[in-house]
Amino acid sequence: MRKSWMHLLNQVATQRPELLLLTGDQGYGLVESFEMAHPTRFISLGLADQALAGVAAGLASEGQRVVLHAGRQGARLLPALRELLPGQSVIVVETDSNEPLPHQLPGWLLATPACPQELLASLRQLLARGEPSWLRLGPDGTQPLRGASPTVQLGQWVPLRAEAAPARTALLGSGTGLARTRPLAPQATHFSLPLWGEPAAPFQAEQIARFDELFVTREDGLADWMLRVAADAGLGGRVHPV
């Protein structure tokens, strides 16, 4: 999804003049297209990765929409990123990581698009909302699950296909783990959850209650988060990690 990512960011940046791309040393060939298209809105700190979080926070405090490309080093920036305030619009973009997402960050939004079509919809939502956010990209070669970009809203499950008679069992996934897990529950209604995190917790109980059983993928820490949210709502017995 990294190849789709920079193309989409360039596309969105033409419509959002306040958007800045901040990056460290990401190697050759990833961010150069953005630098060429928007040279005044590209900042590289080179090998000074430890300064990324502080610079991002400073720019965001001045009203900028900052996309911080952390590559595989997102977890290393966490201690400094915890100091971001709810109104500071910084989107941390992490790639190809198998670590659980930091869903305990108060007020943060987490975006785990399952395919390139969800990536565009998720990015637009993150930029429109403005909270500190964490966007995880899957690897290149991720297969499309949809023919068009869906409507993405905070905490709302997005069906992968229309169901004539919805099943009483659901499979909910995030990121690229959803495509791999779908064959485990062929009779279930399949959903993705592109945009979640603590602000999305209040929207889950009503959706869980629609099903007798809910299987949730473990990728990105989604299953752990959903188990806790379901338990708080008295629905923990319906949720099963896969």
Model pLDDT for residues 98-150, shown as the tens digit of each residue: 777 766 677 788 999 888 888 888 988 888 888 888 998 876 656 667 777 88
More confident residue, 225 or 88: 225
More confident residue, 207 or 95: 207
Provide the mean pLDDT of the chain: 83
- pTM comes to 0.85
Fold of 158-241: Rossmann fold (3.40.50)
pLDDT of residue 213: 94
Contacts for 76 with CB less than 8 Å, ≥ 6 apart: 49
pLDDT of residue 235: 94
**Residue range(s) in the chain whose domain bears CATH number 3.40.50.920:** 158-241
Res. 74: pLDDT tops 80: no
pLDDT of residue 28: 59
Output b/e per residue, 67-98; b: 16+ Cβ within 10 A.
bbbbbebbeebeeebeebeeebbbbbbbbebe
Q: For residues 180-187, give the mean pLDDT.
A: 79
CATH H superfamily, domain 2-137? Thiamin diphosphate (ThDP)-binding fold, Pyr/PP domains (3.40.50.970)
Query: Confidence class of residue 225 from pLDDT cuts 50, 70 and 90?
Result: very high
Q: For residues 47-63, give the mean pLDDT.
A: 78
Q: For residues 61-82, give the mean pLDDT.
A: 77
The DSSP bridge pattern shows strands 169-173 and 189-192 to be parallel
**Residue range(s) in the chain whose domain bears CATH number 3.40.50.970:** 2-137
Res. 200: pLDDT tops 90: yes
Lowest-confidence segment of 58-62, 84-88, 113-117 by average pLDDT: 84-88
| Per-residue tokens: 21 | 């791309």
